[in-house]
Amino acid sequence: MRELVDSIADCFAVGARHELLVARVRGLLSVLLKTPPAVPAAWHPLGFIHFSLGEVRRGDKLRLHVWPRMHRRTQEPPLPIHDHIFDLESEVLAGSLLNRFFSVEGDTATPTHRVFEVLYDGDVSALRATEQTAQCQQISERLFVSGDRYRVARGAYHATEVADSEFAATVVLTTAISDRAPLVLGPLSGPGTYRYRRQLCSPSEVEEALKSVDAALAGR
Domain encompassing residue 8: 2-218
Which residue(s) pair with 144 in the sheet? Answer: 97
Q: What pLDDT sits at residue 173?
A: 97
* Number of structural domains found in the chain: 1
CA nearest 45: which of 103, 108, 113, 127?
127
187 three-class SS: coil
Q: What pLDDT sits at residue 49?
A: 97
CB-CB contact of 49 with 201 (8 Å): yes
Residue 220, pLDDT above cutoff 80: no
Mean pLDDT of 20-35: 95
Report pLDDT digits (tens) over 81-136.
Answer: 999 999 999 999 999 999 999 999 998 899 999 999 999 998 899 999 999 999 99
Report pLDDT digits (tens) over 76-91.
Answer: 999 999 999 999 999 9
CA 215 to chain centre: 21
Residue 36, pLDDT above cutoff 90: no
**Percent of all residues in the chain with a pLDDT value above 70, rounded to a whole number:** 100
Mean pLDDT of 177-188: 95
Q: Between the CA of residue 195 and those of 117, 147, 188, what are the distances in Å? A: 12, 35, 17
Check which CATH number belongs to the domain holding 46 and give it: 2.60.120.10
CB-CB contact of 61 with 174 (8 Å): yes
CA nearest 153: which of 129, 132, 178, 133?
178
Report pLDDT digits (tens) over 133-172.
Answer: 999 999 999 999 999 999 999 999 999 999 999 999 999 9
Report pLDDT digits (tens) over 37-72.
Answer: 778 899 999 999 999 999 997 789 999 999 999 999
Q: What pLDDT sits at residue 10?
A: 94
